[in-house]
Amino acid sequence: MNKTFLIFLFLMTMYSAHAQQQRHIVDGKKVVVYTTAQNTTHRLSKTETLAFANFGQPKETQPCVFVDPSHTFQTMLGIGGALTDASAETFARLPKEKQAEVLKAYYDAKDGIGYTLGRTNINSCDFSSGSYTYVKDNDASLKSFTIEHDRQFKVPLIRQAIAAAGGKLTMYVSPWSPPAWMKDNNSMLKGGKLLPAFRQAWVDYYVKFIRAYEQEGIPVWGLTVQNEPMATQRWESCIYTGEEERDFIKEYLGPTLQKEGMSAKKLIAWDHNRDLLYQRASAVLNDPAAAKYVWGIGFHWYETWTGSAMQFENLKRVAETFPDKNLIFTEGCVEKFNFSRLNDWALGERYGMSMIGDFNNGTVGWTDWNILLDETGGPNHVGNFCYAPIIGDTKTGQIHYTNSYYYIGHFSRFIRPGAKRIVSSSNRDKLQTTSFINEDGKIAVVVMNTSDESIPYTLWIDGKGAQTTSLPHSIVTMVVE
């Protein structure tokens, strides 16, 4: 036999073995179903255990969710939320037993929802009690730099979150605005731009912040260039065009991180909405001199303020054009807080829709906004009050779980860092789905139903089917184990 034929035989044998392995992937496996559903008591509740049976070719009349573990896509970095000043101040005002409950609810992988990702702010943001920086005015040398402000509330909360997460939390940091004296509008608020004379000083500021946090026992995994660089907000904000962000990265931020021994820190560009996502990604990543410093593109979900739906197709455009870069959801919350709406089911469904759409279009990490807010949806020094998955009533000492906490948990508890997305598709538009296979081999299939209908369907994997029913306004995670 010649060498070519032997290679052909080897490849065919490997393919046959792989196919055989996939063909029997669900043999002897069970499906454990966890459910959250409106008008029920189900909240991440274990509701049933299913068995697979031979099913064969589905008919068009049979609703199915099809899962194919033989094709894998992006690897999960983690899921989590932001540890802001507002979250830390609210946390500090709760009774000790409620603080412990919040930490367990978010960071315990078994009895909570297992957060593994975190974000915090450099300098103040709207979810701070007031504007602040870490240096004295006009100190371009940054000799006065200190994070003493953060040691009161934010640093202690982040440390406790890390401990509750088992000693490791993937943390990244984001600036909302440089100090006012570094900007052309002489204000941290209402947009404005970084003055060219202070570009290096501002980059050095990032480095000092990261080092100061790491000295406090808070490892920093990465950073974003600028929160919402195209938004002139009434709170802390700073504007960069695509070209300005590109040049800031390649001429200042990237080289400085490298020079300071921080080239391993993951640098994230954009950090704003999906609507301009491709335009910004192309502006930065089409320049190799800038792209070499960039780990990925961050995005938010607030493009809906223009009347648009969530624009998941823009994620797909970036993923297919720049496959060597990563997509990470860096912020989202439901705005216009009203305490009487804490039980509004739409809160969680917005999260479910975003997470399914984001993951199916290549996103590797997903970060909610504030993990905790008070009974006003704050504190927020400009009145931009919003919802968080958990609301801490600082007057009564009670905590309230919105259903968004449970919707997020259907992903974060069962889809762990290192999991790979696999194919998951539905033949009914009312059944939205995404699936991952974890490093331990367990498959997590998420199915969400935002309709008023109860829909019987089959989980179908390689000719085997497990039958169940999707309740109205529900989300389930089916764990194949």
Cβ atoms of 455 and 470 within 8 Å: the answer is yes
Q: Which amino acid is at 81?
A: G
Number of Cβ within a 10 Å radius of residue 39: 10
* Beta bridge partner(s), residue 318: none
Just list the catalytic residues.
228, 331
* Residue 385: closest CA among 374, 398, 396: 374
Tokens of 396: 């009564």
Name, in order, each residue with C-beta under 8 angstroms of 441's C-beta and a sequence gap of 6 or more: none
- First-to-last alpha carbon distance for the chain, in angstroms, is 43
